[in-house]
Structure 1
Amino acid sequence: MILTVTLNPAIDRTIEIENLEVDKVNRTLKVRKDIGGKGINVSKTILAMGGDSLATIIVGGPNGDFILKEAQQMGLKTKVILNKGNTRENIKIVDVVNKTYTDINEPGPDADEAVEEEILSFIGSTLSENDFLVLSGSSLKGLSDDIFNKMVEKANQVGAYTMVDVEGEKLRTVIESKPSLIKPNIHELEALFNTSITRIEEVVSYAQKLIEKGLQTVVVSMGEKGLLWIDENTVYLGEALKVDVKSTVGAGDAIVAGLAKSLNEKRNVEETLRVAISAASCVIETEGSKTGNMASLNTYISKVDIVKLV
């Protein structure tokens, strides 16, 4: 089983504009609403790829009702934890002329006192050995600073495989709990070590420092430079595909979805990287934050080049 967790889901309102101008009135070309939050995006993409997952989400208020309705209509399996505060709404501004993508994200409501205990209890009672726990995105205010650590530790206790895609201090902290795999992007890796990284050799070197801390695998997304897989014994580079970029929203989540689905199916590293890169490519060429059209997935998989560096 793949269990995804979204502590701070959202409604993503994507607004398309021609030539966005600051301090002026801008007219929209198109507006759409999608359910989001990184864990939900992972589950949506797994479903679009023909896979299965259980999306654990904390929701409340009218926005929470909208998310649950949309999730049900698209066929997502969900474990719902109710919260009194209204779930947040994020704005994604796409300038179709200048090809810019601007996110304006709300922080989200405060968590009720019982929420943390409920989610930790659910994870502890639901996961079994060899299940996958995918933790990604931000946290609600009111949850413990080390909530991601607590969830990883629950999974580790039963022998589940843990994948984490968080940023900032949450990433720095969760490493202490030794998740199985983390997926920072290049900027998050730089922030983790308070440095500037320009060469692939440097990415590998810093990732190996994390492996030495007890992680099994570090996967670093580098945009158009591709995707790096680093574990104790090997380093692989999956080269990015050139596609028509319509939105970058959810691309990182699609990588996580591809990794989770493929590893859960016991695919090897090369196959796993091909699926992850191809899933992200499908999302990138899809407007807004709706799930990418996976009709091109198999075609893209056959086109991804993988290079074994170590």
Structure 2
Amino acid sequence: MVTVSLNSAIDHTLDCPGFTAGAVNRVVSETRTAGGKAINVAAFLSGGASPVTATGFLGRDNAQVFEALFRERGIQDRCMRLPGSSRVNIKVVDRAGGAVTDLNLPGLRVPDGAMELLTEKVEGLADDNGCFVLAGSLPAGVPEDAYATLTARLRARGALVAVDTSGAPLRHAVAARPDFVKPNAHELSELLGRPLPDRAEVVRAARELHATGIALVVVSLGADGAIFVAREGVLLAVPPRVEVASTVGAGDAMVSGVLAARLAGSDLETCARRATAFAAGKLARVGPVAPPPERVEELMRGVAIHSLGSA
């Protein structure tokens, strides 16, 4: 398993009860964790049956946070170091009010030639790895079709490719027919260029995307669960109620659950249960920490599955 992170981030989470803009606020605790969608997926899947490799770009000036995560989780580090710092995302969490305020700082500008070198590195990793996750936004200096290019080259080598991004990078990527995509409802609406005012419209849109040749389409609906569309049919998976410490990384946990289930040969219902349980279990934790297996099994039993017909 290889995760490709082109715009890695450090998530700086501040626990600030009663946060009020324009006022003096008191932070009671803080955490700094290596993040970005692909880094989170690598962290969630580390320690599993298959080894995990992380590649992509890291800023040399603050790479230590990522290196510490890789050492702790046993993730093979094949990331390229670039001059400067990886971006920092500040999350101000008011648990009492149930609100999270995001302050996203600018990140790296990728120099000329670096993306070509990374593409060669990723293709080389396909010699020994059969599954790739391309996830997250794109930094300055990387073309909008970067994920599409990587998808086409990796699929030509017989690899399974999962993509989790949004906007123009997603639009280009779906044209290259990855095996699995996971937009949320807003991202799917943006992709198709029309509003999706209710669940029926979201399901119709997910079916359309699947019909273009993408084997598995998962549309996350936040607390309302997720829609899973594959050859086996269309399912709605609704999670049980859980305590929420942080929503950061819940979508990445869902991607991880999908891949863990699919690579184990699970059917669509088991995949939907495991992915939804992974995401629900992560909500109780800050940072890319997967829930323990016994908690995943407990949550899987609490996931409600509704059949919505054929694909």
State how far apart, in whole Å, the 2-side matches of 1:48 and 1:198 are: 40
User: Residue 232 of structure 1: CA displacement?
Assistant: 4.4
1:98 is displaced (CA, Å) by 0.5
- TM-score with structure 2 length normalisation? 0.93
Contact 2:61–2:83 (CA under 8 A) maintained in structure 1: no
What secondary structure is seen at the aligned counterpart in 2 of 1:178?
coil
2:156 equivalent to 1:157: yes
CA contact (8 A) 2:232 2:268 kept: no
Matching of residues 67-78 of structure 1 within 5 Å: 67-78=66-77
Q: Are 1:85 and 1:111, in contact at CA under 8 Å, matched by a contact in 2?
A: no
Matching residue of 1:99:
98
Deviation per CA, 1:103-153: give whole Å up to 9, x if none.
Answer: 222231111223211221122222159811111101121112211111101
Equivalent residue for 2:22? Answer: 23
Give the whole-Å Cα distance in 2 for the aligned partners of 1:130 and 1:30: 39
Q: Distance between the aligned counterparts of 1:225 and 1:16, measured in 2?
A: 26
Aligned mates of 1:241, 1:127 — CA distance in 2: 38
Aligned residues: 308
Comparing 165-174 and 67-76, the one that deviates more: 67-76
Once the two structures are superposed, residues 202-260 of structure 1 have per-residue CA deviations (whole angstroms, 9 ceiling, x without a partner) of 11211122123222221101112211111245111111221011110000000001111
Bigger drift between 270-279 and 114-123 goes to 114-123
Aligned to 1:293: 291
Q: Does the CA-based 8 Å contact 1:41-1:253 persist in structure 2?
A: yes
CA contact (8 A) 2:135 2:163 kept: yes
Q: How far apart, in 2, do the equivalents of 1:128 and 1:149 lie? A: 20
Shift of 1:74: 2.9
Q: In 1, are the aligned partners of 2:144 and 2:168 still within 8 Å (CA)?
A: no
Aligned partners of 1:188, 1:284: CA distance in 2, in Å? 21
- 1:50 positional shift: 6.0
| Separation of aligned partners in 1, 2:155 and 2:73 | 31
Structure 1 runs (4+) deviating above 4 angstroms are 48-51
Output the amino acid matched with 1:268. D
Identity %: 29
Amino acid at match of 1:42: V
Q: Counterparts of 1:50 and 1:102 in 2: how far apart (Å)?
A: 36
The answer to whether the Cα contact below 8 Å between 1:129 and 1:158 also exists between their aligned partners in 2 is no
CA distance in 2, matches of 1:232, 1:24: 53
1:170 CA displacement: 1.2
User: Structure 1: which 5+ runs fail to align?
Assistant: none
Further displaced range: 250-259 or 180-189:
180-189
Q: CA deviation at 1:33?
A: 0.7
* Helix, strand or coil at the partner of 1:28: coil
CA 1:48–1:278 in structure 2 vs 1: closer, same or farther (change >3 Å)?
farther
1:262 matched to 2:285? The reply is no
| Amino acid corresponding to residue 167 of structure 2 in structure 1 | G
Give 2:268's aligned amino acid.
V
